[in-house]
Structure 1
Amino acid sequence: MFDLTAKVAVVVGGTSGLGKAIALGLAAAGADVIASSRSQAPVEEMALEIEAAGRRTLRLASDVTDRQSLEALHDQVIDTFGAVHILVNAAGITKRIETLDCPEDLWNSIMNVNLKGTLRGCQIFGKTMLAQKYGRIINIASLSTYVAFNGVAAYCASKAAVGALTRSLAVEWGDQGVCVNAIAPGIFPTELNRVLLDSPRGHELLLRTPMHRFGNVEEVVGAAIYLASCQSSFTNGEILTIDGGYMASGVNQ
């Protein structure tokens, strides 16, 4: 039911963390996968892993803050494969800083990657998907799409906006064969948050998670495969939360 054979997937921010796990998961499900990020070396490494899984790929770096870079990525994918069926927008950054101390250039840089980078990907690849009358777009939201975390207001605002963008595009494009959804991951140890999880704040996050553990990045893959597949044809505008019960939990410790 969830076979992705003959599908072409682009994972922007697909060489580390959740993006890497999703890219490899889509390849394991049969898709040809282009995992792209700003640095060429990890792109090359991911290409080798995707090819080892028996799938086709391209070695293309891109920068979500540069529209021409994403357009070049799109054009080379279309030139090589003739279509693009799946887009995962997984690039993201954060910075812990009190809001009163947050300079506008830092705020803008976080918005530029997390929100506008997602928008650029949706616009560039979405145009082709609309012409095809078929597409699956998966944005990466966050628990902060729903709730606030102290000291990361810019990140929280950007991810709340990603949720709103996901729903808006689902409304605009849903009758044209393009489903736009998002995954809101709970707490998954990655290079982006590893220092945080070793702090008292990380202990609090663990206490608030009913399963009493953090997630493994591979535990996001099943949701991504579902949203990327034909079986999600009536799932549109959904933000699928994978958090071990964090959002369902009150004060339980």
Structure 2
Amino acid sequence: MSYSIENSIKGKVCLITGGTKGIGKECARQMAKMGAKVIVIGRYEKGLNEVEEELKLSSPESVAIKADISSLAEIKEMFLQVKNRFGTVDVLVNNAGTNRRTKAIEVTEEEWDTIINLNVKGAFFCSQEAAKLMDPGKVNKIINISSQYGHVGSSNRSVYCTSKGAVELLTKSLAVEWAPHILVNAVAPTFIETELTKELFEDEKTRKNLLERIPLKRGGTVKDVVGAILYLASDLSNMTTGSSLLVDGGWTAGS
């Protein structure tokens, strides 16, 4: 018997939030190249237009939709467009998220709401709306992008850690409730070298401190995370649900 991630993703309707840059954008690219019908969600038209044009070269039915997933009204409108265009969703990747480094004693209500609404509320209600469209006669996938900080604490990241801890238990709860036709898993990366973390890795002291915590002695790449997402999106993971796949180079194993 031949096993192939590519063959099991081909033809699927795959929706990726936060898909205009970093992990989300690369995931969209790879899924489109594998023949998936990719729906990219983002907040800014310029980035969405650029991604849509690129994806259509590999997958002509792919589309980009503007939506702020911290807003339930925009989530519902976005999924109405998805329903009208595709009728279903086979794979949802809850990738959109944000972080702010603030001492716990200084966290404001605005910071709390911004992080929790995007990282937790957005992931929950996107999952809810996707579940309504998923075919109960098929094996469907929801993949939540969590963090190593959903497993361990960190100074100046109290709200972010709270949000990712919530994502971890949301993953388990939905996996139990929605089995067997919706499999729900998480991918929990360490520090990934992207445009957003460029300054961290360029600062020698910060880079040294980070790499000392990672047994593999390097930061993660977008490719590392996308590989985990593609595995969970494929039929090769059809006995896996309620799990969190740590892509952290051993950070949490040594904590």
After TM superposition, the structure 1 = structure 2 runs for residues 1-253 of structure 1, keeping only pairs within 5 Å, are: 1-2=4-5, 3=7, 4-129=9-134, 131=136, 133-175=138-180, 177-199=181-203, 200-249=205-254
What's the CA shift for 1:249? 3.0
Paired amino acid for 1:197: F
RMSD: 1.6
Q: Is the Cα–Cα contact under 8 Å of residues 184 and 240 in structure 1 kept in the other structure?
A: yes
- Structure 2 distance, partners of 1:11, 1:63, is 13
- Structure 2 distance, partners of 1:246, 1:128, is 37
- Structure 2 distance, partners of 1:167, 1:154, is 20
What's the CA shift for 1:245? 2.1
Q: Is the Cα–Cα contact under 8 Å of residues 84 and 129 in structure 1 kept in the other structure?
A: yes
SS at 1:192 equivalent = helix
SS at 2:65 equivalent = coil
Alignment identity in percent? 37
- Structure 2 distance, partners of 1:18, 1:210, is 22
Give deviations 1:141-195, integer Å, cap 9, x for gaps. Answer: 00101111210110010001000000000000013x1000010011112233333
Structure 2 residues without counterparts, runs of 5 or longer: none
SS at 1:26 equivalent = helix
Moved more, 87-96 or 203-212: 203-212
TM, length-normalised to structure 1: 0.93
Q: Is the Cα–Cα contact under 8 Å of residues 87 and 133 in structure 2 kept in the other structure?
A: no
SS at 1:91 equivalent = coil
Give deviations 1:8-51, integer Å, cap 9, x for gaps. Answer: 00001111111112111222222110111111111111111211
Give deviations 1:112-146, integer Å, cap 9, x for gaps. Answer: 11111111111111122265554200000001011
What's the CA shift for 1:80? 1.5
Paired amino acid for 1:136: K
Structure 1 residues without counterparts, runs of 5 or longer: none
Q: Is the Cα–Cα contact under 8 Å of residues 142 and 185 in structure 1 kept in the other structure?
A: yes
